[in-house]
């Protein structure tokens, strides 16, 4: 297949420098909007108050406006008598022109009423008693008591709000209080998002083998909105150069022009990747077009990134794989959107952590590794997710990422690392399960999440889960390890200070496509005979998992084709078999049935929880252990196909 090679793979710093230089001509634009549309916008100019707030001396309570000196000496047993004025002031009612409170006089006034000339205090009605046609004051009032003076909150000409302030409900309330009905704000940058590729299908469409739903466009559109931009959906376009060129040109010139255009996909080296060619062609024929300034960055993920300016507008072609696309968007595009929207650049929030496992890297490329944060005895541990750039959920699951410099081959287990948090609200979960994956445990964790608890599951396998608990990381580990000497599951493998809690039973076996004549056989011996004949591909499980231990025992040292394909979950095994990428693999009957696969039983096993003794009293851990004893929860497990 003919390939279009990258033009110029540069390091991350050089890519940022080139793109910033190409976009230096772009400046935030200002517009004026009604106050009722200002929420969430960024203020484009300082705001000074055109009025005093309050605009008049105002009563803070219901009572009587008085001269404070007339109340001096008043006591409960020796009240001071005052004469009511021939008027009463309600809120919003101005005193009659020329009226002034005379000595010894009290003016009935409501909360918010205008203090009349001559009065300098308000006596609360609770501190007075009626006395015939007059009123007696039982407690003295100091000058200024229960009065808010004009301009004491905001004075005419005071600076009220500084430019570049994000307008929340607090700020819009202040603007309303000073009578501002139109607000100068930075215009939201219009960002068009177009997904490209023959394999892309809009959500809701039919999904044939080899095609994928378009998740990138949804994520990118919503990310633009979160950053304060105006997202413009460009739909899904096939790999057709003329259609791509027409769509991109429409977003760069004319009535439909955006401030910035994002294309997802089409940046790598395959023959069907046409976006780079289209960008080059448009740059050649449109004015104000520096063209492609970067095509290829020494990053993982994100190497195929393309950065360009065409017709004076930035064009960014993001990689097609979801994690690569979203990561490069936030690293290279988000700062530009914030700047054009008048927002401040967000300072990275970082925490110190430790790598509990060795993290390998590719020398020559700066690598960003998504991690989960787990509390340990010496601080936070950063568990790598192990998800590739095609993972849709990796960014949603991760707490942050570790940056591995281009010259570093690996981060050793136990080495300190700096984790950049993906958002400021990240906090360690209430409960962390680190161990073997099981949909039964997922069910229980879902029940806890329904109670408002933050839970996290990190599938690393039974053995690695126990090692994590031994180091003091995580709260519980799902395990299913068979002790061949005793025939008992799990107990023999517990490290010190870790208890075993009764879980549930599940049926492990080999899954295959129904109707396969080699594997749709009556017993396990016939199945193994077919495996030994060769020519059929398996899918394995990750080292350290209980399923891997059981599978290695079943194979007796054999290494069939596909042995080193080692996904982390039962679902991944079932998907590989169902889609024909493998012919057989080991999983539990619940997963095999859900995937429509044949299943040959191998062994009933125990899936139990290992629990750190010191964590049992934590509320979320205690809640999980209570669920294991709860009949409704166990009935839910039975409905899923698990046993007691």
- Domain match, 550 and 611 both: yes
Residue at 590 is within a domain:
yes
Residue at 582 is within a domain:
yes
Query: pTM of this prediction?
Result: 0.78
**Which residue segment(s) compose the domain that 272 sits in?**
12-24+188-340
Residue at 431 is within a domain:
no
Whole-Å CA distances, 259 to 47, 186, 229, 252, 311: 27, 13, 10, 8, 10
Q: Write down the pLDDT at residue 272.
A: 44
CATH of the domain at 286: 3.40.980.10
- pLDDT (average), residues 379-386: 85
Q: Write down the pLDDT at residue 5.
A: 46
Residue at 453 is within a domain:
no
pLDDT, tens digit, 9 for 90 and up, residues 495-505: 999 999 999 99
- pLDDT (average), residues 577-592: 94
Residue at 427 is within a domain:
no
Residue at 449 is within a domain:
no
CATH of the domain at 178: 3.90.105.10
Query: Residues near 18 by Cβ (< 8 Å), separated by ≥ 6?
Result: 10, 293, 294, 307
- Going by C-alpha positions, the residue among 456, 465, 320, 435 that lies closest to residue 388 is 320
Residue at 115 is within a domain:
yes
Of 366, 391, 421, which one is at a domain's C-terminal end?
A: 421
CATH of the domain at 407: 2.40.340.10
Residue 6, pLDDT > 70, answer no
Query: Residues near 98 by Cβ (< 8 Å), separated by ≥ 6?
Result: none
Tokens (6 digits) for 46: 């300082």
Confidence of residue 453 (pLDDT cuts 50, 70, 90): very high
Tokens (6 digits) for 212: 């994928």
Q: Write down the pLDDT at residue 421.
A: 87
208-222, 436-450, 577-591: which has the minimum mean pLDDT? 208-222
Of 327-341, 357-371, 539-553, where does the model show the most confidence? Answer: 327-341
Please state, in angstroms and rounded to a whole number, the distance separating the CA atoms of residues 9 and 414.
33
Higher pLDDT, 528 or 4: 528
- Domain match, 359 and 333 both: no
Confidence of residue 265 (pLDDT cuts 50, 70, 90): confident
Q: Write down the pLDDT at residue 257.
A: 94
pLDDT, tens digit, 9 for 90 and up, residues 277-310: 999 999 999 999 999 999 999 988 888 999 999 9
- Domain match, 625 and 534 both: yes
- Going by C-alpha positions, the residue among 512, 547, 546 that lies closest to residue 527 is 512
Of all residues in the chain, the percent with pLDDT exceeding 70 is 96
Residue at 437 is within a domain:
no
Of 292, 311, 340, which one is at a domain's C-terminal end?
A: 340
Confidence of residue 256 (pLDDT cuts 50, 70, 90): confident
Residue 355, pLDDT > 70, answer yes
- Domain match, 333 and 216 both: yes
- pLDDT (average), residues 249-271: 82
Of 171-175, 263-267, 423-427, where does the model show the most confidence? Answer: 171-175
pLDDT, tens digit, 9 for 90 and up, residues 404-425: 988 888 899 999 999 988 877 6
**E strands present in 471-595:** 476-479, 482-483, 488-489, 498-512, 538-539, 584-588
Backbone angles phi, psi at 365, to 5 degrees: -130, 135
- Domain match, 201 and 126 both: no
Q: How many CB atoms lie within 10 A of CB 483?
A: 12
For the chain, the domain total comes to 5
- Domain match, 239 and 309 both: yes
Question: Given the structure tokens 């009905």, which residue do they identify?
Answer: 181
Residue 269, pLDDT > 80, answer no
- Domain match, 519 and 634 both: yes
Please state, in angstroms and rounded to a whole number, the distance separating the CA atoms of residues 270 and 164.
44
SS3 state at 540: coil
- Domain match, 62 and 104 both: yes
199-208, 474-483, 600-609: which has the minimum mean pLDDT? 199-208
- Domain match, 468 and 610 both: yes
- Domain match, 242 and 111 both: no
Q: In what order do the strands lie in the sheet with 63-66?
A: 121-124, 63-66, 105-109, 80-84, 134-137, 128-131
pLDDT, tens digit, 9 for 90 and up, residues 21-67: 999 999 999 999 999 999 999 999 999 999 999 999 999 999 999 99
Question: What number of H helices and E strands is found in the chain?
Answer: 16, 37
Residue 1, pLDDT > 50, answer no
- Domain match, 642 and 617 both: yes
Of 394, 421, 448, which one is at a domain's C-terminal end?
A: 421
Q: Write down the pLDDT at residue 273.
A: 62
- Domain match, 502 and 626 both: yes
Tokens (6 digits) for 402: 């570790």
Residue 386, pLDDT > 90, answer no
């Amino acid at each position: 297949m003919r390939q279009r090679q990258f033009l110029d793979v540069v390091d991350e710093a050089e890519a940022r420098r080139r793109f910033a230089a190409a976009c230096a001509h772009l400046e935030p634009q200002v517009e004026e909007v009604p106050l009722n549309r200002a929420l969430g916008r960024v203020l484009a100019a300082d705001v000074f108050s055109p009025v005093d707030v309050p605009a008049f001396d105002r009563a803070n309570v219901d009572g009587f406006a008085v001269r404070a000196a007339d109340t001096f000496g008043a006591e409960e047993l020796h009240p001071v008598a005052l004469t009511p004025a021939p008027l009463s002031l309600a809120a919003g009612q101005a005193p009659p022109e020329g009226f002034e409170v005379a000595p010894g006089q009290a003016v009935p006034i409501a909360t918010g009423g205008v203090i009349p000339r001559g009065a300098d205090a308000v006596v609360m009605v609770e501190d007075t008693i009626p006395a015939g046609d007059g009123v007696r004051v039982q407690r003295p009032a100091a000058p200024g008591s229960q009065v808010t003076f004009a301009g004491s909150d905001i004075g005419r000409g005071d600076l009220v709000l500084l430019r570049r302030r994000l307008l929340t409900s607090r700020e819009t309330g202040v603007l309303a209080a000073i009578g501002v009905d139109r607000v100068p704000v930075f215009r939201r940058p219009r960002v068009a998002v177009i997904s490209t590729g023959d394999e892309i299908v809009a959500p809701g469409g039919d999904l044939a083998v080899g095609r994928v739903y378009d998740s990138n466009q949804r994520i990118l559109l919503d990310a633009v909105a979160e950053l304060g931009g105006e997202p413009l959906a460009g739909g899904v376009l096939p790999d057709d150069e003329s259609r791509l060129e027409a769509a991109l040109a429409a977003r760069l010139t004319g009535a439909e022009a955006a401030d910035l255009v994002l294309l997802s996909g089409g940046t790598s080296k395959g023959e069907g990747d046409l976006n780079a060619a289209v960008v080059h062609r448009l740059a050649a024929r449109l004015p104000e077009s520096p063209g492609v300034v970067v095509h290829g960055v020494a990053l993982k993920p994100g190497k195929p990134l393309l950065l360009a300016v065409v017709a004076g507008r930035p064009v960014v072609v993001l990689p097609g794989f979801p994690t690569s696309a979203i990561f490069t968007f936030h690293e290279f595009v988000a700062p530009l959107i914030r700047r054009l929207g008048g927002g401040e650049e967000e300072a990275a929030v970082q925490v110190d952590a430790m790598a509990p496992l060795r993290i390998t890297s590719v020398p020559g490329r700066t690598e960003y590794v998504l991690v989960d944060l787990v509390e340990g005895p010496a601080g936070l541990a950063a568990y790598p997710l192990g998800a590739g750039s095609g993972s849709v959920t990796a960014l949603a699951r991760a707490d942050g990422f570790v940056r591995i410099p281009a010259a570093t081959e690996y981060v050793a287990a136990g080495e300190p690392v700096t984790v950049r948090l993906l958002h400021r609200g990240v906090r360690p979960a209430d409960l962390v399960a680190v161990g073997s994956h099981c949909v039964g445990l997922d069910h229980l964790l879902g029940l806890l999440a329904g109670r408002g608890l933050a839970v996290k599951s990190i599938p690393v396998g039974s053995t690695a889960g126990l090692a994590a608990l031994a180091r003091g990381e995580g709260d519980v580990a799902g395990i299913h390890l068979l002790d061949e000497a005793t025939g008992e599951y799990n107990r023999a493998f517990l490290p010190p200070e870790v208890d075993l809690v009764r879980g549930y039973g599940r049926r492990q076996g080999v899954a295959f496509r129904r109707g396969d004549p080699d594997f749709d056989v009556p017993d396990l011996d016939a199945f193994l005979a077919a495996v030994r004949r060769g020519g059929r591909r398996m899918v394995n499980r990750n080292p350290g998992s209980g399923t891997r231990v059981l599978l290695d025992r079943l194979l007796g040292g054999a290494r069939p084709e596909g042995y080193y394909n080692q996904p982390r979950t039962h679902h991944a095994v079932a998907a590989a078999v169902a889609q024909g990428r493998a012919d057989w693999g080991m999983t539990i009957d619940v997963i095999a049935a859900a995937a429509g696969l044949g299943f040959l039983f191998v062994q009933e096993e125990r899936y139990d929880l290992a629990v750190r003794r010191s964590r049992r009293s934590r509320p979320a851990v205690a809640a999980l252990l209570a669920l294991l004893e709860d009949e409704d929860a166990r009935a839910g497990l039975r409905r899923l196909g698990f046993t007691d």
